[in-house]
Amino acid sequence: NTIGALRLFLAQSAVGAQGLVPRTTGAILNPNVELLLQAPQLRSFRFSFRMSARDAKEASQIRKIIRFFKQGMSVKRSDTSLFIVSPNMFRIQYLAGGEGNLSKDHPSIGKIKDCALTAINTQYTPDGTYMTFDDEARSMTSYVINMQFTELEPLTETDYIETAARTDSIGY
């Protein structure tokens, strides 16, 4: 019965008809099933960083960091300029110190799949006042960047099974 009802439902969806399943089987599909899963959701992560320079050299590094992320989220042009190419992907990891100098995934913080930077907002006067260094670039003394990353593929149960280094780790 389930296979027959599914075939009718798919046929109904393909031709745009309505009511084929109840007319032919006398039953209706459970509307609550849609509450469980309509489509896999991609997770988003927000990060906020305050960067305050102590001198012009640090301010220059902060400007480079901000530019790196802004440039990394922008689309690229193909060599022929006929197409646009996807922005950079980012791999975000929380690391914990391991034996020697080796770092490993932090077992008590969730893992994140490869992401795209989907939004960045830079506050140039986070303290409410305009204050710069006396350098050629007139660098701000403090910046706040708020970034939103979105994973590129949905999370599945298989991800937990395949990548669980420890059974007591949080996973994703």
User: Are 89 and 167 within 8 A, CB to CB?
Assistant: no
Three-state DSSP state, 169: coil
pLDDT of residue 69: 96
More confident residue, 99 or 79: 79
Picking from 93, 108, 97, the residue whose alpha carbon sits closest to that of residue 45 is 93
pLDDT of residue 31: 62
How far apart CA 121 and CA 128 sit, in angstroms, is 16
pLDDT of residue 162: 74
Dihedral pair phi/psi, residue 117, rounded to 5° = -80, 110
Q: In percent, how much of the chain has pLDDT > 70?
A: 77
pLDDT tens digits, one per residue of 18-75: 766 566 666 665 666 555 556 678 999 999 999 999 988 899 999 999 999 999 999 8
Residues 73-98: what's their mean pLDDT? Answer: 86
More confident residue, 76 or 150: 150
More confident residue, 166 or 114: 114
Alpha carbon distances (Å) from 96 to 2, 25, 133: 49, 58, 36
Report pTM. Answer: 0.71
pLDDT of residue 72: 93
How far apart CA 16 and CA 9 sit, in angstroms, is 10
Three-state DSSP state, 123: strand
pLDDT tens digits, one per residue of 114-147: 999 999 999 999 989 998 888 888 889 899 999 9
How far apart CA 1 and CA 162 sit, in angstroms, is 35
pLDDT of residue 161: 78
pLDDT category of residue 113 using cuts at 50, 70 and 90: very high
pLDDT of residue 39: 67
115 by Cβ neighbours in 10 Å (0-12 / 13-18 / 19+) ranks as buried
How far apart CA 11 and CA 100 sit, in angstroms, is 61
**In degrees, to the nearest 5, what angle opens at C-alpha 93 toward C-alphas 89 and 98?**
145
Residue 91: both structure tokens together: 């791999």
How far apart CA 150 and CA 67 sit, in angstroms, is 19
More confident residue, 6 or 35: 6
